[in-house]
Structure 1
């Protein structure tokens, strides 16, 4: 019987990749976003950046502009994909309820926490694979539009992706757990896909929101994940600006405008604190998810 967590994880991953519709939807989503971002948002970001430079009386090369716009687009795409792909990958948990497979599994002596972690780990592995592929494609895109990354920047980008996938998987596990129909799962997926990019600052920089909304969004962990990606994707661009003689005031203004600098009620948030916030959110979400499974099992026994 499949009582070990390893067997359950293997079973979930196998079913996920066997479902071609679910797998290809998850895989294609980041690629579609890259095409859409590169087609529509890149022109908006480029015009904004050029206008800011012209207003400051600075002249920049097309490569530097491409690196800045590309870094912003790539960080936006990865920030969204790490969460939305996790919601798509985690639909197996809902499908097991619909098909009755979850009931069959729980007939065996499987602890609720073991079953909960098996869904989490299988979703994590599947999402991580897709997001790593997306990151590779994004790096290829940056090499085309303007490359200013070092090996350290790339390593930190992958670390950010890992943390955001951990967060996205934990969040999707908590949200998807109560769902029991295909309609509910589709509705949640649509809402997350449409809204998450806005609340995490991927579609539009938080600096462009109203002051009140900025304060509300500053409480959301995904915001800091997006900022971490921004900082590591654009670090080389800002360093090059300094090498070309850009005043620090202009560089800092640009960092503010693209959310590399985040402020919590007026206080600038350090990168180390962003990591603490994101990791804490991951741990809390996992604990909540496991607790939901344990409580449900206890209620059924009662």
Structure 2
């Protein structure tokens, strides 16, 4: 335990000491929020307004703002929890390039302890950045239309925590096979460009073809995005219900923004989404530790 704490402290210090790596991780969510608010907010607003007005419902600007703000915030956080983890986890590859990893592997520290040290350090760094992004998103929602309760905010924080664990586990496994700055930059670019589409953050999964929807339903990140959607928009849907909006209209909107997810026609409950996400994180962690143990045995 002492060795693990020392490694976590060492890796975390090095992350914050590297200003380039730290500011790259920190500025990514802010850039995404500006881009989302500038280019996607009007698209989301038109979609929500047309859906509600088509049902003959009178819609206030605040309610539309709550819909847009909840979808933008959930989209942003769903992407950042994974992409920021790749930025924060660059230290693992940098240690290979500088030779520090070789020095650590010849020490009495176990390979599994070394692996967990990188993981926990990346988790802490990514959480700090993503919780800062969450605070900015909540301020944005407060400005455009606030319908969240304390419970909703706490569940959003839990969702972010689990998605960061998921993103850190994925980045740890992938970065285990990388050995140069060029490789990590290439992988980071691919993940940043593609993950948002695969998890339904850039475009709702309901807009994809049936075949692609079935394929994406096997990806755990999809359920993390849906959890964020549900908790960011729960208050909005409750307000719609209080204003006597037709229940079928509300359910149709939930379907359209992926609050309701279906696995081969069967709706997935929130509790099942949590089970899928937690189970995936545990599985990925086991794989990551085993990879490092096998690699450590080969080196010795």
Interval containing the TM-score (normalised by the shorter chain)? over 0.9
**What corresponds to 2:61 in structure 1?**
62
| Alignment TM-score, normalising by the size of structure 1 | 0.98
Show CA shifts across 1:15-51 (max 9, x none).
0000000000100100111000000010111111111
Worse-superposed segment, 234-243 or 55-64: 55-64
Task: Give the secondary-structure state (helix, strand or coil) at the position aligned to 1:179.
Answer: coil
**1:170 counterpart = 2:169:** yes
**What corresponds to 2:286 in structure 1?**
287
Structure 2 distance, partners of 1:294, 1:108, is 14
Worse-superposed segment, 42-51 or 17-26: 42-51
Deviation (angstroms), 1:3 = 7.2
| Aligned 1:101-180 pairs, distance under 5 A | 101-180=100-179
Deviation (angstroms), 1:300 = 2.2
Deviating beyond 6 angstroms after TM superposition, the runs of 4 or more aligned structure 1 residues are none
Structure 2 distance, partners of 1:287, 1:127, is 20
Deviation (angstroms), 1:124 = 0.2
**What corresponds to 2:48 in structure 1?**
49
Any conservation in 2 of the 1:9–1:118 contact (CA below 8 Å)?
yes
Show CA shifts across 1:169-218 (max 9, x none).
00100111110011110010000000000000000000000000000000
**What corresponds to 2:28 in structure 1?**
29
Gaps of 5+ in 2: none
Structure 2 distance, partners of 1:297, 1:11, is 20
Any conservation in 1 of the 2:76–2:201 contact (CA below 8 Å)?
yes
Deviation (angstroms), 1:250 = 0.2
Deviation (angstroms), 1:54 = 2.2
Structure 1 distance, partners of 2:104, 2:175, is 18
Worse-superposed segment, 126-135 or 47-56: 47-56
Show CA shifts across 1:97-156 (max 9, x none).
000010111221010000000000000000001111110111000000000000000000
Structure 2 distance, partners of 1:161, 1:185, is 24
Show CA shifts across 1:237-296 (max 9, x none).
000000001010000000000000000000000000000000000000000000100111
**What corresponds to 2:298 in structure 1?**
299
Any conservation in 1 of the 2:85–2:122 contact (CA below 8 Å)?
yes
Any conservation in 2 of the 1:3–1:109 contact (CA below 8 Å)?
no
Task: Give the secondary-structure state (helix, strand or coil) at the position aligned to 1:4.
Answer: helix
Structure 2 distance, partners of 1:121, 1:3, is 14
Structure 2 distance, partners of 1:29, 1:66, is 24
Any conservation in 1 of the 2:80–2:130 contact (CA below 8 Å)?
yes
Structure 2 distance, partners of 1:3, 1:78, is 33
Task: Give the secondary-structure state (helix, strand or coil) at the position aligned to 2:20.
Answer: helix
**What corresponds to 2:229 in structure 1?**
230
